Structures are given as structure tokens and as C-alpha cells.
């Protein structure tokens, strides 16, 4: 099955600042994706029309490279094609567009730091931002506790994510079991494919064919967890509806038709990208999916923003409120601010009900510890011995009870290289390591080491024991 490639809708706000959205759209829809007309000329006095033309050409080239990469045998081989194409082309519009495509592959192979460097959405202060929570009588509380309290009387909870930053999926994964215990019945996620939803229900585990982003292990874990917890999985995203209102309205209608029209007593959890979940205002020149959903269903969803108050690869891209809050507090888990009446603070009061702050990342063996999902997944060290001197190699862990087509529970790439090696021999954002670690729930797994030609060079079974409890 050929992947549907999410094409981006890109707004250039300043010469070195890209604000972007990923949207699966048709070819016809893509030709209108820069219609907002707010792009800035480059430092060479390029007109907005010329800059838009360069971006569209870069999008065409990015798609062609991605299709070529997907013909390679294995995910690591595909990533290497993408990285080489990025390294070989310094043209500004190409790097701006293609960096997002590359970042998806970097998340799929577990290189989350590399993905953040390839693509991120800067968060300057904007006119509709609320004042910093540090300026009022707001108190910090754990995000999971507050969200569960806010969700108790809601029929629907909408979480958003940044597709190139899987950190923004972690809290949603951690909350699924507790939301299920509160009576939520259905789970929907962006870019799940309608034709694969029934196969997922029968098979019991996600594969890369289930949706575009499910190749990324934490996204796959999210779908896997929802399936195991007994949620009804909903593929709502309109694959052929185009972009803007057509897609947003179709997605909202599908959510209503597949969930509340069939069962008025249902309760729904949705995971979607960026502004698809904003409940008011203008989105992509029209209305968002959540805004259409409110109108169609007469249900006001709890909208949880997780995309704006996160750490970026460059500190100057962090929102100033985020920087100040991190300097004032040193949180160990995602948190939100509430007032004395437990009303939550939100960066965008008209758009979202609550905004989540994610702590700055800490790393171990080159991987961020948030991959451990709040300590529920335990670190398992892996070394170059598994690679049998075939570098680079990718270490994958799959649940022992699932097939080879299952999305890996976690992945890491190892690469032993000469520090003077040419760029063509480097992967993982131009660095190499002889060791790393996977993060896995307690249980039985099948570990595989795969080389750059898609060949399995070694495999073994491992058991992750539960963490020892303190006496």
C-alpha cells in the first residue's frame, strides 16, 4: 500500500522563521496552499510571488525525493536517502520545505533531537496571547490531574500535537487508560486510513499501513494502547477532501457520524495536529475541524493545546512565557496553571481551554528520557555488538506476540564512524554512537538489528522486567 504523503501548508513569516502545518491534500488543493499572501520577500528583495513559486517547486521536489526514498528496502535505507538529499542541497526554500519531510523520517527512526533541528515552528509572542501565568495568581499543577478533572463532564476531549515533535504525544498516551476508566469509549487520530481501521481491529496491533504517522513508535504506541484498552478506533480524516474548510468540515462530520450519531452516549478522545482542534477564530483561511464539530454536534470539546509551550532545538524559537516559566520552575512532568477556582490558564483563550507546559528534555545515551512516558517504559541499553559490524544499523523492538509488520515499540540507530568521515557516511544528524537505549514497557520483545540495505543482521528475544519497587 502506498503511503498518502501529507503535503504542507507553509507560511513564511520572516526570512529565517517558518510557521508550518502538515496537511494531507490533493494535488489541486496543494496548488492553493500558499494563498494567505503573508510571505515575506527574502534578503535579495524577492517578491512574495517569487518566494511562493520557489516553495511550491521545493514541495514538488520534496515529494519526488520522498517517493524515491520509500522505494528503498527498509526504513533506515529510506531515511538515508532523505538525509543525503537534505545534505546535498543548501537552497533555502528547499531546506525549509524538505526539512519537515526529513523530520518525519527522523521521528520514525527514533532520532527525535534530529527531527527538532530539521523542522520546528517558532513561537514568538502574538497579539492574542494571554499574559504570562507568572504575572497572575496562577498555581502550577500536574497536567494529567487537571485534564482528567476537566474531562469528567465532557463528551469529547481534543488533544493536539506537533507532528515533528513526538514529545507532544506522550501525555496523550499516558492519559488514555485513565480516560477510558472515566467512561470514554472512542479514540480518533489524524491520518488514520479509513480502509485500514477494520483490519486494525481484527489484527490487534498497528502497522505502518494504518496511518501516515503510525510509523513513529510513540504514535504507534498511542494507537496500540487505545486498541488494547477497548476504545473503538475511528479513522475520521478525509483523505481526498483537499485542504481548508473542505477537509475540516469533512473530518468533523465523520467524527459525528461515526461516533455520536450512532451512540449519543459515547465519549470521544481525538488526537490531531496543531490548530485542527482550535474552537474559534480563523484556521487556514476558514474554520477548524473542532469549530465545525461544535456546530454539527452541539458538543463543546475540551481542547488541550500541547504544541506551543515546548522546548525547541534553538532557544530563540521558544515562547518567551515558556522560557520564563522554565527559569522559575524546574518541573519533572508536564504541567498546567490554574487559578484559585481551578480554572485553567491557556495561552490562546479564544482557541483552547488549557495549555500544557512540557519540561526541558534530559538525555541519556543520546536519547531524551521523555521517551520513557513518565517512567512507565524502562530503559534497555543496546550496543554495537548487535550490528555485527554493519553500520549504520537500526535496533528495533517489537512485542514478541506481534508480527514483523507491527510498528516497533521503539527504535534507535547506531553508527560507528571515523570522525573525519565524509558527510555521505553520516546519519543521525551528523553524529555517530556505538551505544544507545530503547524505552520499553515490562514484557517480552523481539529485538532486530537492520542494516542500511534493509537486511536483518541479528535478532534476539529479551524480557523487560518490572522496575524494582522501593522498600
| Structure confidence at residue 197 (pLDDT) | 84
**171 compared with 45, residue with greater pLDDT:** 171
127-181 pLDDT, tens digit each: 999 999 999 899 999 999 999 999 999 999 999 999 999 999 999 999 999 999 9
Q: How far apart are CA 290 and CA 279, in angstroms?
A: 5
**pTM higher than 0.85:** yes
Q: Is the pLDDT of residue 471 over 80?
A: no
pLDDT of residue 12: 29
3-state helix, strand, coil in the chain (%, to 5): 35, 20, 40
At 342, is the pLDDT very low, low, confident or very high (cuts 50, 70, 90)?
Answer: very high
Degrees to nearest 5, angle at CA 51 with 113 and 99: 15
So what's the pLDDT on residue 448? 97
Cell numbers found for residue 167: 514529545
| Residue appearing with cell numbers 483523505 | 239
**Per-residue pLDDT at 235 exceeds 90:** yes
pLDDT of residue 14: 27
Q: Quote the pLDDT of residue 431.
A: 53
Instruction: List pLDDT tens digits, range 25-36.
Output: 233 233 333 322
**What are 349-386's pLDDT values in tens digits?**
999 999 999 999 999 888 999 999 999 999 999 999 99
pLDDT cut 90: percent of the chain above it = 77
Residue that wins the pLDDT comparison between 419 and 38: 419
Q: What pLDDT was estimated at residue 421?
A: 59
Supply the pLDDT for residue 422: 59
pLDDT of residue 316: 95
pLDDT confidence band for 13 (50 / 70 / 90):
very low
Residue among 18, 58, 21 at smallest CA distance from 38: 18
pLDDT tens digits, 411-443: 999 986 555 555 555 555 445 568 899 999 999
> Which of 449, 453, 468 shows the shortest CA–CA distance to 398?
449
For the chain, what is the mean pLDDT?
87
250 vs 426, more confident: 250
CB 428, CB 413: distance < 8 Å: yes
Give pLDDT, residue 329: 87
**pLDDT value of residue 433:** 65
Please choose, from the candidates 163, 158, 159, the residue with its C-alpha nearest in 3D space to the C-alpha of residue 218.
Answer: 163
For residue 210, list its beta bridge partners.
none
Res 201 pLDDT > 70: yes
Task: Categorize the per-residue pLDDT at 39 as very low, low, confident or very high, splitting at 50, 70 and 90.
Answer: very low
Following DSSP, what letter does each residue of 75-113 receive, concatenated? Answer: HHHHHHHHHHHHHT---HHHHHHHHHHHHHHHHHTT-HH
Going along the chain from its start, the domains and CATH numbers come out as 7-118 (no CATH), 133-355 (3.40.50), 374-464 (2.60.40)
Amino acid at each position: 500500500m502506498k503511503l498518502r504523503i501529507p503535503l504542507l501548508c507553509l507560511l513564511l513569516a520572516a526570512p529565517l522563521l517558518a510557521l508550518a502545518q502538515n496537511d494531507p491534500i490533493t494535488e489541486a488543493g496543494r496548488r492553493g496552499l500558499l494563498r494567505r499572501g503573508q510571505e515575506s520577500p527574502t534578503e535579495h528583495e524577492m517578491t512574495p510571488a517569487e518566494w511562493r513559486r520557489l516553495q511550491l517547486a521545493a514541495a514538488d521536489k520534496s515529494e519526488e525525493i520522498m517517493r524515491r526514498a520509500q522505494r528503498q528496502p527498509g526504513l533506515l535505507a529510506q531515511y538515508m536517502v532523505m538525509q543525503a538529499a537534505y545534505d546535498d542541497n543548501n537552497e533555502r526554500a528547499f531546506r525549509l520545505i524538505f526539512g519537515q519531510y526529513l523530520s518525519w523520517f527522523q521521528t520514525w527512526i527514533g532520532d527525535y533531537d534530529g527531527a527538532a533541528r530539521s523542522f520546528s515552528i517558532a513561537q514568538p509572542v502574538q497579539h492574542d496571547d494571554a499574559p504570562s501565568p507568572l504575572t497572575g495568581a496562577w498555581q502550577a499543577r500536574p497536567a494529567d490531574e487537571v485534564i482528567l478533572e476537566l474531562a469528567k463532564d465532557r463528551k469529547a476531549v481534543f488533544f493536539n500535537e506537533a507532528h515533528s515533535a513526538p514529545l507532544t504525544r506522550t501525555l496523550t498516551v499516558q492519559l488514555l487508560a485513565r480516560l477510558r476508566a472515566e467512561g470514554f469509549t472512542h479514540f480518533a487520530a489524524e491520518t488514520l486510513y479509513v480502509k485500514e481501521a477494520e483490519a486494525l481491529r481484527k489484527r490487534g496491533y498497528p502497522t505502518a499501513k494504518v496511518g501516515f504517522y503510525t510509523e513513529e513508535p510513540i504514535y504507534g504506541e498511542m494507537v496500540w494502547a487505545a486498541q488494547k484498552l477497548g476504545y473503538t478506533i475511528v479513522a475520521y480524516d478525509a483523505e481526498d477532501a483537499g485542504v481548508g474548510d473542505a477537509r475540516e468540515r469533512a473530518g468533523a462530520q465523520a467524527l459525528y457520524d461515526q461516533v455520536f450519531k450512532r451512540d449519543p452516549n459515547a465519549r470521544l478522545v481525538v488526537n490531531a495536529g496543531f490548530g485542527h482542534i482550535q474552537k474559534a477564530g480563523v484556521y487556514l483561511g476558514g474554520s477548524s475541524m473542532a469549530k465545525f464539530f461544535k456546530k454539527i454536534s452541539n458538543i463543546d470539546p475540551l481542547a488541550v493545546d500541547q504544541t506551543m509551550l515546548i522546548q525547541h532545538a534553538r532557544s530563540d524559537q521558544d515562547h518567551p512565557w515558556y522560557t520564563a516559566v522554565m527559569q522559575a520552575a524546574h518541573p519533572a512532568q508536564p504541567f498546567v496553571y490554574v487559578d484559585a477556582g481551578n480554572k485553567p490558564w491557556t495561552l490562546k483563550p479564544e482557541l483552547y481551554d488549557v495549555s500544557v507546559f512540557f519540561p526541558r528534555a534530559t538525555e541519556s545515551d543520546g536519547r531524551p528520557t521523555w521517551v520513557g512516558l513518565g517512567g512507565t517504559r524502562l530503559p534497555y541499553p543496546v550496543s554495537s555488538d548487535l550490528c555485527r559490524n554493519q553500520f549504520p544499523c537500526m535496533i528495533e523492538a517489537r512485542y514478541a506476540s506481534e508480527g514483523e509488520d507491527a510498528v516497533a515499540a521503539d527504535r534507535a540507530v547506531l553508527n560507528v564512524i571515523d570522525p573525519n568521515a565524509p558527510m555521505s557516511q553520516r546519519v543521525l544528524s551528523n553524529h555517530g554512537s556505538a551505544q544507545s537505549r530503547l524505552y520499553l514497557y515490562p514484557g517480552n520483545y523481539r529485538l532486530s538489528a537492520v542494516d542500511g540495505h534493509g537486511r536483518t543482521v541479528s535478532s534476539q528475544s529479551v524480557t523487560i522486567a518490572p522496575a524494582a519497587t522501593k522498600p
